[in-house]
Amino acid sequence: MNILLRSVKIIDPQGKHNQQVADIYIKNGIIENIDPEIGPEKGTQIIEIPGLHVSPGWFDSSVSFGEPGFEERETIAHGLFTAARSGFTAVAVNPNTHPVADSNADMAFIKARGNGAATEIFPIGALTAKGEGVDLAELFDMSRSGAIAFGDYRSPVANPNLLKIALQYVQNFDGMVISFPLEKSIAGKGVVNEEETALRLGLKGIPALSEELQIARDLYILEYTGGKLHIPTISTKRSVELISAARKKGLDVTCSVAIHNLFLNDSVLDGFDTRYKTMPPLRTEEDRKALLKGLTDGVIDMVTSDHDPRDIEGKKVEFDYADYGTIGLESAFGALNTLLPLDKTISLLTSGRGRFKMELPAIEKGAMANLSLFDPSPEYVFKKSHVISTSANSAFYDQKLKGKVYGIIRANHLEADLS
């Protein structure tokens, strides 16, 4: 398949064509030419859309699909279709399936289910057997079958010795441990951020201390063991400070933030809408601003949609009993582009690849096509009609967002809505 992208603006902060307007000719999945004007060969599909921009393909470090076990939430095939139409050429999928993805066979199954999709899937293996937090899973075997990291999704490593052993063990094959930042004994039965909003609504609170104490403990262990640690979806001002201090010590630690924690604060909980029940919870406006500053300062390495489809039975219940989680792939670019300059938005949507040992796609002659297609200008209100996912539990309904995503081109795959 040959494709000519006509008069597109290239946003590639690390590339030589950044901010250029040019034609891009893709032949058999390879970028053959980038030039101000290219004459197409016979049979070429020409894509010419006013305001069309391209960037290196986006990567999301934390998405959840339901398969196997919870296919009613999202199958792998439909999840990858959702990711592609949302501009992502690669996603790392969490092991919160049934059964938990904790073996080399599970990694092979996930990779096989993603074969032929436009968006590439990279499995994260469970850190512990069955995700129960007792014994380490088959980490080395999973790494040989395609696991890019190891962590129990939204489940902290309660046993500090287990984390110590894990960090020591994965150094034998350059693996990385993901440790969710939550001290459960502090969080207790909390369901939202422990602050004024929780008190006013009569909802049990999750103190910021529950996140910060776990991070402090994990960083002390990392300092002792060495190795690579990734802390996903931090949500408090103090968490940013703790990770910044650890970096200054030379510790090999990275972190991410969920886009909904950047965009929303706990004031939206006033209506008891369970779409806003997330883990970690939405925090204060002070925390939200600190997270944004952490991004601009480079302390927070990457953003994630933390896409987590939930069926209606998990959300249309009393707040205390509702599932945590929000879908986020479809709204990710629009929300981030509303908050940050375009170059920064694109950098954050691609920067996670290096940490997970992936090459950053290049927009240059001879490179495999790996492109996200979008227009950063249109402003709109996010509605259910924008949802592609099987589930509809979005925290972004009725929010004003900026930027339209058309889809992606990866190798010989074109998955886009060009209307």
Catalytic machinery residues: 306
CA angle 251, 255, 259 (to 5 degrees): 165
- Grouping H, G, I as helix, E, B as strand and the rest as coil, residue 25 is strand
- Residue 345 corresponds to which tokens in the numbers above? 């938005």
Residue of 203, 261, 268, 218 whose CA lies nearest to 236: 261
For residue 134 the two structure tokens come to 């007792």
Size of the chain in residues: 419
Burial of 215-245, coded b for 16+ CB within 10 Å and e otherwise, reads: bbbbbebbeebebbbbbbbbbbbbbbebbee
Task: Please identify which residue in the block is written with the tokens 């931090």.
Answer: 234
**Which of 22, 408, 343 shows the shortest CA–CA distance to 32?**
22
CA separation for the pair 219, 197 (Å, rounded): 30
Segment 241-245 long-range contacts (CB within 8 Å, at least 24 positions apart): 242/212, 242/215, 242/216, 243/215, 243/219, 243/299, 243/300, 244/294, 244/297, 244/299
E strand map for 280-344: 302-304
Beta partners for residue 150, in sequence order: 125, 177
- Asked if 384 and 397 touch (Cβ cutoff 8 Å), the reply is yes
